Amino acid sequence: MPREIRVKGQKIISGNSVRNCRRFTSSPGENAFQVKITAPDEQFTRVYIKTYGEHVGFRIFMDAILLSLTRKVKMPDVEFFVNLGDWPLEKRKSPQNLHPIFSWCGSSESKDIVMPTYDLTDSVLETMGRVSLDMMSVQANTGPSWEDKNTTAFWRGRDSRKERLELVKLSRKYPEIIDAAFTNFFFFKHDESLYGPIVKHISFFDFFKYKYQINIDGTVAAYRLPYLLAGNSVVLKQDSMYYEHFYNELQPWKHYIPFKSDLSDLLEKLQWAKEHDEEAKNIAKSGQEFARNNLMGDHIFCYYFKLFQEYAGLQVSEPKIRDGMEKVHQPDDDLFPCTCHRKKAKDEL
């Protein structure tokens, strides 16, 4: 469970919290919030929402996981707030006693309650469906065996953090050690002549042709880490103030090779990996086992359920369907019709 819930252990009063959370949406487009409630209604669980802010498109990810959960388990009666942006919002040293906020990413400077990222959640919901990258498909496409992998460290991505520019600069200086390039410029377009040209996107599965995978922050934590761990290459992970829901269980030098946030020791760590090939291989294997044991679809579903269950247990006031909330409807494709709710329980059950 998120350490934010364990550490706080506080009682939550839902009714007095909307005005506290609205302060994050005071600037147009700054951030967006979503208020949700699940409430038992006869034999079904219903989901109701209200959005705050200008850019609320990412609510589709929360809609999807909540609707999916309500089809699988009996959800608790709970009311909560969700941050629909990447950045965690509730400052850890805030002088106010504010309402907890659920976010997809946390940081050492914030106390948001962290859920699995929207990317990982979506890949779970769409496994074998419309997504091309999920935790199952990665394990079936891990590339050559360890001994046959390219020994150049590999990275591709966009220019969403200054350290990524430094990584590309290192690649230019040591091309035989690091192959790093941008696939898109957005944040540092004025530096494209220095760090470009951009290269074509390649399949994520082709990443695993390379023995060493570099994981470096983007706007927040790099949400690709679960997929990198699931492959059979060793991950070199940047020290970071940002974290996903599972980082607390990861161990440096067991599941990944750490390097400093300013990249000052990255070359040294790559050299260590090359000189300690068997140890690096074992780290890659441990990282893969961690992903299999903690980040598959059933783990994500259970994490969400336990998260809401624990949170519901801390509520003091009764969750309500508040003014302006709208019901979120289940998909009506009827691909898998279910009539189980109409059947009477058998005596032996």
What are the catalytic residues? 86
What letter does residue 319 receive in the DSSP assignment?
Answer: P
3-state secondary structure (DSSP) of residue 27: coil
Alpha helix segments (H runs only) across the chain: 3-8, 18-22, 59-72, 118-125, 135-139, 162-173, 192-195, 225-230, 266-275, 277-294, 297-313
Which two structure tokens, joined as six digits, stand for 99? 């309402």
Helices then strands (H, E): number in the chain?
11, 13
In angstroms, the CA 154 to CA 171 distance is: 9
C-alpha pair distances (Å), 294 with each of 65, 154, 163, 286: 18, 25, 29, 12
* Nearest Cα residue to 303 out of 245, 243, 229, 225: 245
